[in-house]
């Protein structure tokens, strides 16, 4: 049976065995369902799977409308129930942060995402990753989870969370889960619902561009980037924010060896992300 709780004090008495947490802001889709399945694999039938549904105000920046973020708790709960989740924790800011007035939070309570939090998505959304890391840390403490599943679709988030727990020596295993995709390869995202039909058709070029970059990576970083941008250039309505090849930890790309293709674009008002691993060959 899946139980909905709204306060953290209810959680400890409901837990049994090892605990895995899936942290979400709601508006759940099949990608989240896969995170739940992997969480169950981590702890087994005797363990506890917790899904948190919390639209975190500290990771919204200027121009990002916190009030308009979709809130679909009834549907989210039904998905969790179908996936055999034990606890759905849907708190308010007061329960998570100890205050309903986020502006009153002292700066000392916010985690610093460092240099890695200021590049790529961090450059486009200043302060976002500090807010994200802060709530991830708090939710892990609240749930007492030994496992936390995170999707590779939000790759920079995954890298930052993994590093944060390691640096703070928190005994939790971050479990990466491969990106779940729609039939044309588009990465599943809560943002996809904002795409009008013509925009959704264009979005199918994003995974094709990533695939082209991965295929060309054998000829080096420059060839990979050029191949991906060539695909996206077919549609002027796709505005590229960045299309890069980095090391797996998002540092500078190696001359050869394992690397990561990472891309962000705008289609209309919607920002879409994708990424994939690749193997760089030395340029000819």
Beta pairing partners, 260:
246, 277
pLDDT for position 283: 74
| Range from 94-108, 220-234, 235-249 carrying the lowest mean pLDDT | 94-108
Q: Is residue 185 part of a domain?
A: no
Q: Is residue 129 part of a domain?
A: yes
Q: Which of 153, 177, 201 is the last residue of a domain?
A: 177
**Chain length of the chain:** 284
Q: Is residue 65 part of a domain?
A: yes
Domain total in the chain:
2
Q: Both 147 and 263 in a single domain?
A: no
Q: Both 173 and 46 in a single domain?
A: yes
Q: Both 91 and 21 in a single domain?
A: yes
Q: Which of 113, 145, 177 is the last residue of a domain?
A: 177
pLDDT for position 186: 98
Residue 254: which CATH number? 3.30.1300.10
Q: Is residue 39 part of a domain?
A: yes
Q: Which of 143, 177, 211 is the last residue of a domain?
A: 177
Which segments of 18-127 does DSSP mark as H helices, in order?
30-43, 73-82, 93-97, 121-124
> Residue 101 in 3-state DSSP?
coil
pLDDT for position 61: 78
Q: Which of 8, 16, 29, 32 is catalytic?
A: 32
pLDDT for position 99: 93
Burial (CB count <10 Å: 0-12, 13-18, 19+), residue 149: buried
Q: Both 149 and 15 in a single domain?
A: yes
Q: Is residue 229 part of a domain?
A: yes
pLDDT digit string, tens, across residues 180-216: 999 999 999 999 999 999 999 999 999 999 999 999 9
Q: Is 32 one of the catalytic residues?
A: yes
Q: Both 199 and 225 in a single domain?
A: yes
The counts of H helices and E strands in the chain are 9, 9
Average pLDDT, the chain: 96
| Contact predicate 150/139, CB 8 Å | no
Q: Both 228 and 253 in a single domain?
A: yes
Q: Both 160 and 65 in a single domain?
A: yes
50, 89, 111, 136, 144 from 148: Cα distances, Å: 10, 15, 18, 10, 10
Nearest to 164 by CA among 120, 132, 197: 132
> Other C-beta atoms within 10 Å of 40: how many?
20
Q: Is residue 184 part of a domain?
A: no
Residue 284, pLDDT above cutoff 70: no
Residue 65 and residue 57: Cα distance in Å, rounded?
10
pLDDT for position 96: 97
Q: Both 92 and 230 in a single domain?
A: no
| Contact predicate 164/133, CB 8 Å | yes
| Contact predicate 281/256, CB 8 Å | yes
Q: Both 205 and 162 in a single domain?
A: no
pLDDT digit string, tens, across residues 8-52: 999 999 999 999 999 999 999 999 999 999 999 999 999 999 999
pLDDT for position 265: 98
More confident call, 89 vs 63: 89
Domain range holding 267?
A: 190-279
Q: Both 149 and 40 in a single domain?
A: yes
Using left for φ > 0, alpha for ψ between -120 and 50, and beta otherwise, residue 220 falls in left
Q: Both 53 and 161 in a single domain?
A: yes
Nearest to 23 by CA among 167, 174, 211, 204: 174
pLDDT digit string, tens, across residues 107-157: 899 999 999 999 999 999 999 999 999 999 999 999 999 999 999 999 999
Q: Both 125 and 156 in a single domain?
A: yes
pLDDT for position 221: 97
Q: Is residue 202 part of a domain?
A: yes
Q: Is residue 183 part of a domain?
A: no
């Amino acid at each position: 049976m899946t139980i909905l709780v709204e306060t953290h004090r209810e959680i400890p008495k409901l837990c049994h065995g090892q605990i895995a947490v899936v942290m979400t802001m709601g508006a759940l889709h099949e990608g989240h369902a896969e995170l739940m399945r992997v969480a169950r694999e981590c702890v087994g039938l005797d363990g506890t799977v917790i899904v948190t549904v919390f639209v975190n105000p500290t990771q919204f920046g200027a121009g990002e409308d916190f009030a308009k973020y979709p809130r679909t708790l009834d549907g989210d709960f039904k998905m969790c129930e179908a996936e055999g989740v034990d606890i759905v924790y849907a708190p308010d800011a007061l329960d998570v942060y100890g205050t309903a007035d986020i502006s009153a939070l002292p700066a000392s309570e916010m985690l610093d995402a460092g240099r890695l939090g200021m590049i790529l998505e961090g450059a486009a959304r200043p302060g976002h990753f500090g807010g994200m890391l802060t709530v991830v840390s708090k939710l892990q403490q609240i749930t007492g989870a030994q496992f936390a599943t995170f999707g590779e679709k939000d790759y920079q988030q995954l890298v930052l969370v993994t590093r944060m727990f390691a640096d703070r020596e928190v005994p939790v295993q971050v479990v990466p889960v491969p990106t779940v995709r729609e039939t044309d390869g588009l990465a599943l995202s809560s943002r996809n619902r904002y795409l009008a039909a013509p925009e959704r058709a264009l979005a199918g070029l994003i995974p094709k561009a990533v695939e082209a970059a991965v295929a060309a990576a054998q000829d080096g970083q420059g060839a990979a980037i050029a191949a991906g941008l060539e695909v996206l250039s077919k549609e002027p309505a796709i505005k590229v924010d960045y299309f890069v090849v980095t090391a797996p930890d998002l540092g500078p790309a190696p001359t050869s060896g394992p690397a990561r293709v990472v891309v962000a674009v705008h289609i209309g008002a919607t920002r879409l992300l994708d990424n994939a691993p690749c193997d760089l060959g030395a340029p000819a």
